[in-house]
Structure 1
Amino acid sequence: MSNDHKTQPETAIQLPELNTTTTTTNTTTTKVADEAENGTLVISNNSTKKLPRNYVVMHIVLRVACLLASLVSVIVMTTAKEKSSISIYGFDLPLYSKWSFSGSFQYLVGVSVVVGVHSLLQLVMTAPRMLRKSSIFSSRNHAWLIFAADQVFAYVMMSAGSAATGVTNLNHTGIKHAALPNFCKPLRSFCDRVGVSIAFAFFNCFLLAICAVLDIIWLSN
């Protein structure tokens, strides 16, 4: 008799838990849908995309080069001054030239100082992150900000170099059909210093353009 009355196995014991799981899943799905619809859903992604170390080294080298180019441009320009004399219609006239006499040269010095400070700040912020072997930018917004700054400074530096070049060309060629001669003949040292400063300004513009390209590479990676 005991064999005829075998205990039937219990079934559907986990059904309540399955229902609970299904209900929880549906609730979570509904909540996510509501957050997405209301614009409050934030997807977190803590993974950091690492670029080759050569990229970081190139970034540091470019910032150092920008800083040095700015320093050379400022130092050479601010030390450009010379005394001499020139003969016009048989009269010897004294000449004294100084970089601060030209607004274009002052503009070039001001822009070079700003670019130098910008490059120094980037080095100060980047070096500790490189030592920790983390990304050189803290976020994409930070990268976009630096990209915009590099582009703006590159264009402004080009503008300053072009303005200074115009004044230097005028000193070299003088004014046709007028009594103003070539001032760079008696003021050779002054014009040479100004030319070197302008050359480093254009070189700095080129370096900033490369920095902007590296910023884009980081953003697209």
Structure 2
Amino acid sequence: MRSPQSLRNGGTPSPHARIPTPHHHFHSTVSVQKLKRFNSLILVFRLSTFCFSLASAVFMITNSRGSGSDSPRWYDFDAFRYVFAANAIVAVYSLFEMIASVWEISREVTIFPEILQVWFDFGHDQAFAYLLLSAGSAGTALLITLRGTDTCRATSAFCVQSTISIALGFAGFLFLGLSSLLSGFRVVCFVINGSRFHL
């Protein structure tokens, strides 16, 4: 049916004239939902890193057998002190990143300015992932050496608990590595699009 305006102008109705649809609003809504899912995935990885790193540090710091001077203690070995320190540092860092993720999900803004936040996350994820890997490797090398000595023969529980602590540290490294991949994706998006996520 022709509109009054087209009849007055003597024209024919345009076949392209249609009721506008809210495509932009729909696209924005879908993008925001994707961003929340993306940030929720990062939060899961942060939580996993925190749990494994904290558990590793706890297992190591409680790893002492006997009260005698000859009884092995974790702090008698440099590599085990390294394992404890690395996992404790990563646990504290992961706790901060969890708070930052919850803040971003709930308020849809970053704690720091966006450019600082994306580079802060990526840089620290990389550095602390290498820290955990280095500590785990040092602890593993020491553990292999101890298994050939009387330390593990006399107090096998000490070496078993050390093994558990190191394994938990490697699990923390795995999840921190996954977090690093996602934070790296945010850096790439920011460099290309000027935003931490392609909306």
Band the TM-score falls in, shorter-chain normalisation:
0.7 to 0.9
Q: Structure 2: which 5+ runs fail to align?
A: 1-27, 190-197
> Does residue 1:213 correspond to 2:181, yes or no?
yes
Equivalent position of 1:197 in the other structure: 165
Higher strand share: 1
Equivalent position of 1:164 in the other structure: 139
Offset at residue 128 of structure 1 (A):
2.1
1:186 to 129, 154, 161: 154
Are residues 191 and 205 of structure 1, via their aligned partners in 2, closer, same or farther at CA, if it must alter by over 3 Å?
same
> Does residue 1:61 correspond to 2:44, yes or no?
yes
* TM-score, normalised relative to structure 2: 0.72
CA contact (8 A) 2:50 2:91 kept: yes
Separation in structure 1 between the aligned mates of residue 168 and residue 183 of structure 2, nearest angstrom: 22
Which residue type is aligned with residue 201 of structure 1? Answer: G
Matches within 5 A, 1:106-145: 106-134=81-109, 138-145=113-120
1:96 to 36, 60, 71: 71
1:155 to 130, 133, 139: 130
Which residue type is aligned with residue 174 of structure 2? Answer: F
* TM-score, normalised relative to structure 1: 0.65
Which residue type is aligned with residue 161 of structure 1? Answer: G
Residues 112-152 of structure 1: CA distance to partner in whole angstroms, max 9, x if unpaired? 11101111111122212211244687413310121010000
Separation in structure 2 between the aligned mates of residue 159 and residue 204 of structure 1, nearest angstrom: 13
Identity among equivalent positions (%) equals 26
> Does residue 1:80 correspond to 2:63, yes or no?
yes
Separation in structure 1 between the aligned mates of residue 134 and residue 97 of structure 2, nearest angstrom: 23
Separation in structure 1 between the aligned mates of residue 116 and residue 74 of structure 2, nearest angstrom: 39
CA contact (8 A) 1:60 1:123 kept: yes
> CA-atom RMSD, angstroms?
2.4
Q: Structure 1: which 5+ runs fail to align?
A: 1-46, 86-93, 175-181
Consecutive aligned runs of 4 or more in structure 1 exceeding 6 Å deviation: none
| Structure label with greater radius of gyration | 1
Are residues 137 and 216 of structure 1, via their aligned partners in 2, closer, same or farther at CA, if it must alter by over 3 Å?
farther
Residues 141-186 of structure 1: CA distance to partner in whole angstroms, max 9, x if unpaired? 3101210100000001111111111111111123xxxxxxx42122
Separation in structure 2 between the aligned mates of residue 163 and residue 109 of structure 1, nearest angstrom: 12
Number of aligned residues = 159
Separation in structure 1 between the aligned mates of residue 112 and residue 46 of structure 2, nearest angstrom: 14
Are residues 162 and 111 of structure 1, via their aligned partners in 2, closer, same or farther at CA, if it must alter by over 3 Å?
same
Separation in structure 2 between the aligned mates of residue 209 and residue 98 of structure 1, nearest angstrom: 30
CA contact (8 A) 1:83 1:187 kept: no
